[in-house]
Chain A
Amino acid sequence: MGGCMSDSQDTTDRNVEREIEKDKKQDTRAHKLLLLGAGGSGKSTFFKQLKAIHGEGHNDREKEGFKRQIHGQVVESIQLLIRQCKTVTKDPLPGIKDEDDEPFGNDDLDDARLSNSLKVEMTETEIAQFKIAKEFDQSCQYLLEIHGSRSALTEQLVTHVKSLWNECPAIQAMFEHRNKIGIPDSSAFFFNDIERIGRSDYTPDHKDIVLARYRTTGMTEKEFHIKDAVFKVLDVGGQRNERKKWIHFFDGVTAVLFVVSLTCYDEVPFEDVTDLAADVTLMNSMLESIKVFEDTLDFECFQKTGFILFFNKADLMQEKIKRVPITNAFPNYKGPQEFKPSVDYISKYFLSLNRVPEREMLLRFFFEYVLFVNYW
Chain B
Amino acid sequence: MALTLCWCFFAVIHKKIKNKINKTKQLSKYYAYIFQIKIKTKQSINTKRGTFQKCSSLIKRCFILHLVWVWPAPLVLIFFFTLLLYGCKNKCTFTVQNKTVIGCGVFYVWLFVDNNLLFNHNFLVTAYIIASPFWIAMIRFYFVWYDSRLNQDQIKFHWKQQLFLGNDIMRLLQTNDDLQVLSSPVSETSISVASANGSDNDITSKECKAIIPEKSETDLELKHPLPYTIKYRHVIGDARWIIAFWLLFCVGTCFLGMTQLWEGKEGLFYFLVLSTTLAYGIPVVLLSLLLLKMLELHDSLDIMRLDAIYLCVVYVYRVFVSPYALHGIKLAVIIHTHTHTHTHTHKISYSGNEKNFICCITSTGVSFDSNAFLFKRGLRFGSTLVVVYLNWDDEIISLENILAQPKTFDMFASHLASELSLENLFFLTELMQLKYFLRWQQLQIFSIFYVYLFMPEEEINEKSLGWILQLPQKVIEDNLDSHLIKKGTICKQKVYKVAFLMFHYLYQRYVQTNSLSQINIASEVRQPILDAFAEKQIFVSNNSDLTDAKHTICRFIQVMDIAAINIYRLLENDSLVRFLKSERYQQYISLKGS
Contacts and interface: CB of A to CB of B under 8 A. Distances in A.
Q: Do A and B come from one complex?
A: yes
Interface of A: 1-2, 4-5, 8, 61-62, 64-66, 68-69, 72-73, 76, 80, 83, 96, 98, 100-101, 104-105, 108, 147-149, 151, 181-182, 214-220, 237, 239-248, 270-274, 295-296, 299
Given A1-B139, A149-B568, A247 B200 contact: yes
B143 A1 contact: yes
A61 B398 contact: no
B399 A69 contact: no
A296 B200 CA distance: 8
A1 B573 contact: no
Contacts of A296: 200
B524 A274 contact: yes
B286 interface: no
Contacts of B576: 65, 68
Nearest to A76: B569
A107 to B, nearest CB: 10
B306 interface: no
B573 A68 contact: yes
B254 to A, nearest CB: 20
B92 A8 contact: yes
Contact of B575 (A104, A105, A218): A218
B555 interface: yes
Interface stretch (B102-110, B122-130, B413-421, B474-482): B413-421
A104 B199 contact: no
A243 B577 contact: no
A148 B565 contact: yes
B197 A244 contact: yes
Contact of A220 (B398, B419, B554, B580): B419
Given A147-B565, A148-B568, A218-B575, A98 B199 contact: no
Contact of A101 (B198, B400, B555, B568): B555
Contacts of A244: 195, 197, 199-201, 203, 518
Contacts of B405: none
B240 interface: yes
Interface in B511-526: 518-520, 522-524, 526
B538 interface: no
Contacts of B558: 96, 98, 101
Nearest to B464: A98
Contacts of A5: 93, 143-144, 147
For chain B, give the interface size range.
Answer: 35 or more
A68 B575 CA distance: 11
A271 B551 CA distance: 28
Contacts of A247: 197-200
B522 A243 contact: no
Nearest to A214: B573
Given A69-B573, A217-B520, A218-B419, A274 B527 contact: yes
A151 B424 CA distance: 20
B535 A108 contact: yes
Interface in B145-202: 147, 195, 197-201
Given A66-B577, A151-B398, A217 B571 contact: yes
A65 B139 CA distance: 46
A215 B574 contact: yes
B412 to A, nearest CB: 12
Given A72-B573, A149-B572, A242 B520 contact: yes
A217 B92 contact: no
A68 B577 contact: yes
B467 interface: yes
Contacts of A65: 576-578, 580-581
B304 interface: no
